[in-house]
Chain A
Amino acid sequence: MNIETRDENDIKIIYLIGEMDTSTSPQVLSELDALRNSGVKKMLLNLEKLDFISSAGLRVLLATAQQLKASGGDLRVCQLNKEIKEVFDISGFSTLLMVFDNEAKGILGM
């Protein structure tokens, strides 16, 4: 599991690369927590290279989204591949989170 980031104004664009499963999700959570603690309020997660996400990974996204929202921030996701989209649909995350086709659309109005 790899995490890469870049900044677009006050938005942190985060690339989740690899498999977000039971063993890797805690690592992702601590990295997202670190970003939040350093003052990041707006996150756009690019999931194009996320191979699969299990419920452990979904929990990390949910927890982060809830905490950002509570502090007046925002979490969005974009570029879901077919399998991630399927999991988002089954789990209801497609409506729970703000999902966009690509980064440009995700950044708009954030």
Chain B
Amino acid sequence: MSESKQKILIVDDERLNINVLHDLLKNDYKTMAAISGKQALKAAESANPPDLILLDIMMPEMDGYEVCRTLKLNDKTKDIPIIFVTAMGQTSDETKGLEYGAVDYLTKPISGPIVHARVKAHLELKQQRDELKSAYNLIEAQKMRMEDELLVGRDIQMSMVPQVFPPFPDRKEFGLHAKLHPAREVGGDFYDYFLIDNDHLCLSIGDVSGKGVPAALFMAVTRTLLKARASEDLSTASIITRVNDELNRDNKKFMFVTLFTAVFEISTGKLTYTNAGHNPSIIRRNNGETILLDAFHGPVAAALPELAYKEDVVFLNKGDMLFIYTDGLTDARNSDKEFYTQDRLEGLLAAEGADDAEIVVEKVFSEIIQFEGTAEQFDDITLMALHYEVDAASFHVDRFEVSVTNQLAEIRTVNNLFNEFIERNQLTTELRRQFNLIIDELLNNIISYAYKDDDDHEIEISCHLIPGKLTMTISDDGIPFNPFIGQPPELSDSLEDRAIGGLGIHLVKNLLDKTSYQRKVGRNIVSLVKNVDNLKTNGEKI
């Protein structure tokens, strides 16, 4: 309540009447007087308006009804409560006064307590109304601010997801399409895709808890971390494990994100994926069969640090499609409050004989929108499809794996196995000689330098021939050592000064198209890739 007294305007052409009311109210209120309708209007519209008006009806020139009507038409004065005070005491007059917008009616002769009671009641009512109104204004302003913020968040969200399709027009091996349809308010979906290298495509889809700018920024951070990690790692378990740790590091707002991240090996169709608290994805085989990837590899990311996420592997064949999405799709509701559901989605995917990622995405999306009908969309709807178009069967593909102990004589064992492998896959002598050298260098390094004890150790070698590539992985449990980070030898030295170290690795790196190293669960893992032409040519030697 305000410290200053509330103000009451008394309007009457009889000074005597004014005085009576003034005497009655002066102790509790500040009063002001007007002796004509005109004066009353002027006082009401002044910079210092009354909180309540006691208005006489019978006045010359402009009567009380007219004053009341005029005040109620003016935005500035329409909320001032008016109580008619008059000698006429007939019901029809009361009705007329109330119709004009007065709040109450007092008849002369007036009674002091009644005037007090009515004035007090109406002033309190007005005060409550005023408070309500300012609260309402505050809420409206707040709501607008929030809507603005949501819009900003939405802008960040939409500017972050790649939207140029087809994303990789040069890549005939696969088709990719995605769509994010934002809900009006709630929603923190995102997706991303990028080529890690020439043979690996990384796909991610996620749903951030929360909304607005904080959610959008969290999304941006998640996306950046995923990209950074994926660029040096083809294991989604390892990618998500590390992203989760980094998201946990400074997560003051306790946000989290569901993630489905996959690394797709384009040449072989090998799909490595990790599901962190996200809804299952679906593979639609070329024959219409659908497979639900319903394994969970860990909880939502950013919720708990130092978790080891897992991963699974599945192979896509020519014509198969991977369909990933957020739960906004299966949780979409129609006007009967029914969910769209995963069953409906699987049914639709099985029935659609589509061999184009964009067509499938648009088909599913329009189906959802049709299903929702007039019902409001509550959550973002995001969907992505990857269609695989390589026939891996037209290539020589083969593999061998061998485990040897750390004896130099075992190098010959591995090379002999490799030579058989070359033979049966009709690969070139040149390739055989290059890899004999590479195997010799790398195994010699491991056997001669990796172990600090005299125990036996297993060295695992696996060799894969995939479309267009020969890959080899060598893994050992020796001391952590990345062979590929040393300085290359100084090749321009003269014969006399020429140092001896570093040459083997230099040869290995130069004979291959790609080399990489990682330390994983106590083992050094060296991965080698050599581009080869292993397309089958009617059984002829390549």
**A residues at B contact (CB < 8 Å):** 19, 21-23, 51-56, 58-59, 62-63, 65-66, 69-70, 82-83, 86-87, 90-92, 95-97
Contacts and interface: CB of A to CB of B under 8 A. Distances in A.
13 contacts: A23-B412, A54-B507, A62-B495, A70-B496, A83-B433, A83-B434, A86-B434, A87-B507, A90-B511, A91-B491, A91-B507, A92-B489, A92-B491
Nearest to A54: B440
A21 B434 CA distance: 12
A19 B438 CA distance: 13
B437 A54 contact: yes
Interface string B423-442: 00000011001101100110
A21 B440 contact: yes
B500 interface: yes
A84 B346 CA distance: 57
Nearest to B502: A55
A86 B409 CA distance: 26
A96 B495 CA distance: 6
Contacts of A97: 495
B511 A86 contact: yes
A55 B412 contact: no
Place the interface of chain B in its size category: 20 to 34
A90 B506 contact: yes
A70 B497 CA distance: 12
B495 A65 contact: yes
Chain A interface helix/strand/loop/mixed = helix
B313 to A, nearest CB: 34
A55 B503 contact: yes
B411 interface: yes
Chain B interface helix/strand/loop/mixed = helix
B210 interface: no
B496 A69 contact: yes
A92 B437 contact: no
Interface in B495-534: 495-496, 498, 500, 503-504, 506-507, 510-511
A28 to B, nearest CB: 14
Given A65-B495, A91-B503, A92-B491, A52 B412 contact: no
B492 interface: yes
B509 to A, nearest CB: 9
Given A22-B411, A86-B511, A56 B440 contact: yes
B408 interface: yes
A62 B498 contact: yes
B317 interface: no
A83 B430 contact: yes
A58 B496 contact: no
Contacts of B412: 23
A25 to B, nearest CB: 10
Contact of A58 (B409, B429, B436, B503): B503
